[in-house]
Structure 1
């Protein structure tokens, strides 16, 4: 669908319903209005920081369809049996009660960039002076031949946590003795670069304890992947003979699936599998495309403020943004949210805006108390968010250091979720 700045962007009947509905949210008080779409690591953090640091000068509305948000980070630990599902679920009550944020549980289905309103699936619209969009990812249609969203109950992606995570774990538990778990890994760029390989580790941990003769087949279009040396060292140490990875040299980039037959075809060779976790190619959450803010699959931003390069009144955070060197991760989104919140407060209230600084760390668990990490610091240049320095765990580290790294990750999880949800 072609769009331009003077066109209301929406989706079919939902957009028509929103246009005709008389209800308008948050149109009182005369204060500047900030609307945040998406209640994850980027959106919830931005909403909270704007609300808590603006001394009541800004009205903040957070639009998020789910009443309980399940973090993708640490969802792999649920698959491995290190967390229960409730421990990665979070609600929005504190943001509403303690920070005065108007939390609207609905889908944002359109943005009128001229009128500065967001249309809701349930009818009505929300006006804004500044809009923050942090919708996470959606999947590229046709990325894995034979798979689309209608197949996600048979071949889960589990790359949006919650019910998909529970479904994949149930399928793992139902595998026959000696069965095969297959993963179709995604091409770059995608949410959480080490995520698929931590998932392989956690599935292997679960199977080692519950189905030790089972096999894991990883079909990967990439020649290399994040923390590869660390993961392969861990797999050889803890799960010898269980995991086989097929990269592009052996057809990992020529794969299709048949969800009904439960088969994976790799460069023409058909494999029967018992569970298939399909993680397709990704793109920015659909609202970015609907609002005309992408240049393809991702939404370009100004590094110093996270403003859209296509609309200065909109900021785009986290996985959806095309910003440069930062990986698409929860930590990155949280870091970017604080920069955007400061820029928004400065624009609307005249508060001081400091130079943007960003950081990220991604932890992964390979086996019990065997944690590894990678991370970096970043700064804003004219062209991109640029890496200034970095670090990564080393192969051959002793058990005490790996345990400390895992414990560090647990502390970080408690800290970031408190930073997001209050």
Structure 2
């Protein structure tokens, strides 16, 4: 079945909307209970929208997000590959504001969990009864020797949507004929497990059209990666001889870079490159560290309501959370946001809370009209969010099925962005 916008939004309706009539409890500071959501991506925007929509106006919802326009990281590879226009990745917060969410375009710089206040860069202190953290990812400093965020203009990570995505594409387009592009792939766990390999596919698609003698090197610290058989089958079919994947057995985990010299050193061998995408090891967005809810690189949660294990009044969604079996993806964050919103409404309004169930699908485009997918359903257990069943595309599928899979992903994109931002 083709997944269109209406069908996608409907997948979360049963869990999100089945509520008893709201009766707001008195908040600690008087008036309506207040929920602050930090981060306006797939997790945060969805949580803010569902808290406002299903809270029937009985909750004061504030979304703190510094960017006025959100550019999705998911589907950004299609822009790099020349399949999608950059403008289609951008979404504003007008729909949320019209729905009644107080959208504050500022940076959260402090959290006092004792007094339940968030400090923003302007100096204002905002009180909350419940706090939702959905800041996405930050990078582990020193994860790739020679690279830091200060070098991101020379060797982009392009793992946060927006200008970095545009920069990487421009650098690819500027490569000399027969030049070399290198990707430094990240270690587990990281945002969007098939993302780097879809990116390689789309880089190859772009280069095969504008620079067909170019070469692509992937230095990877992992023995295997998501959808590996599907990607490698596709690379052989569409980009034969262009892509060289170097796993840890051949030094893919022993890598350093020199952004000034534009060199990549793999297991002691120095290679000059014309463009390089460094995707470092990742961690929870920095505001989670400021809040004191991290343990190691991530923020542990109880999957039943995405509740922080450090504080029952803090919920952590999406990429930043350590929750169990779900991948760090936009679909996962959107699914988790609906569960968290339901749990928060239950506590603040006394509405019914159903057992937490989650779903995820990750689509990847290998070449135009050659789409593949992997996905699963999940349930909250006392230990973690656990996978209950799953599916994956198969090697050898015919062209019609692969095209249908790609078209399904387009329907999903329209659905999830509408679900996040309340656009028509």
TM-score higher than 0.5:
yes
Shift of 1:28: 8.6
User: 2:415 is matched with which residue?
Assistant: 415
Q: Distance in 1 between matches of 2:407 and 2:285?
A: 32
Deviations 1:135-171 (A, max 9, x none): 0000001000000000000000000010000000000
Shift of 1:125: 1.3
What is the RMSD of the two structures over their aligned residues, measured on CA atoms? Answer: 1.1
User: 2:256 is matched with which residue?
Assistant: 256
Deviations 1:20-51 (A, max 9, x none): xxxxxx99971000000000000000000000
User: 2:161 is matched with which residue?
Assistant: 161
Give secondary structure in 2 for the equivalent of 1:270. strand
Q: How does 1:157-236 map to 2 (within 5 A)?
A: 157-236=157-236
User: 1:85 is matched with which residue?
Assistant: 86
- Residue pair 2:28, 2:129 contacting (<8 A) in 1 also: no
- Residue pair 2:185, 2:221 contacting (<8 A) in 1 also: yes
Q: Distance in 2 between matches of 1:152 and 1:29?
A: 46
Give secondary structure in 1 for the equivalent of 2:230. helix
- Residue pair 2:131, 2:315 contacting (<8 A) in 1 also: yes
Q: How does 1:279-290 map to 2 (within 5 A)?
A: 279-290=279-290
User: 1:301 is matched with which residue?
Assistant: 301
Is structure 2 residue 387 aligned with structure 1 residue 367?
no
- Residue pair 1:27, 1:127 contacting (<8 A) in 2 also: no
Q: How does 1:318-329 map to 2 (within 5 A)?
A: 318-329=318-329
Q: Distance in 1 between matches of 2:317 and 2:57?
A: 23
User: 2:397 is matched with which residue?
Assistant: 397
User: 2:33 is matched with which residue?
Assistant: 32
Shift of 1:126: 1.1
Q: Distance in 2 between matches of 1:82 and 1:42?
A: 26
Shift of 1:256: 0.2
Shift of 1:78: 0.5
Runs of 4+ in 1 over 6 A off after TM superposition: 26-29
How many residues of Structure 1 are paired with residues of Structure 2 in the alignment?
396
Please list every run of 5 or more consecutive structure 2 residues that lacks an aligned counterpart in the other structure: 1-26
Q: Distance in 1 between matches of 2:131 and 2:86?
A: 32
Give secondary structure in 2 for the equivalent of 1:141. coil
User: 2:332 is matched with which residue?
Assistant: 332
Q: Distance in 1 between matches of 2:363 and 2:271?
A: 32
Shift of 1:134: 0.3
Q: How does 1:351-362 map to 2 (within 5 A)?
A: 351-362=351-362
Give secondary structure in 2 for the equivalent of 1:401. helix
User: 2:12 is matched with which residue?
Assistant: none
Higher relative contact order (CA 8 A, sep 6+): 2
Deviations 1:222-265 (A, max 9, x none): 00000000000000000000000110000000000000000000
- Residue pair 2:137, 2:283 contacting (<8 A) in 1 also: yes
Q: How does 1:65-144 map to 2 (within 5 A)?
A: 65-97=66-98, 99-144=99-144
Shift of 1:121: 1.1
Deviations 1:177-228 (A, max 9, x none): 0000000000000000000000000000000000000000000000000000
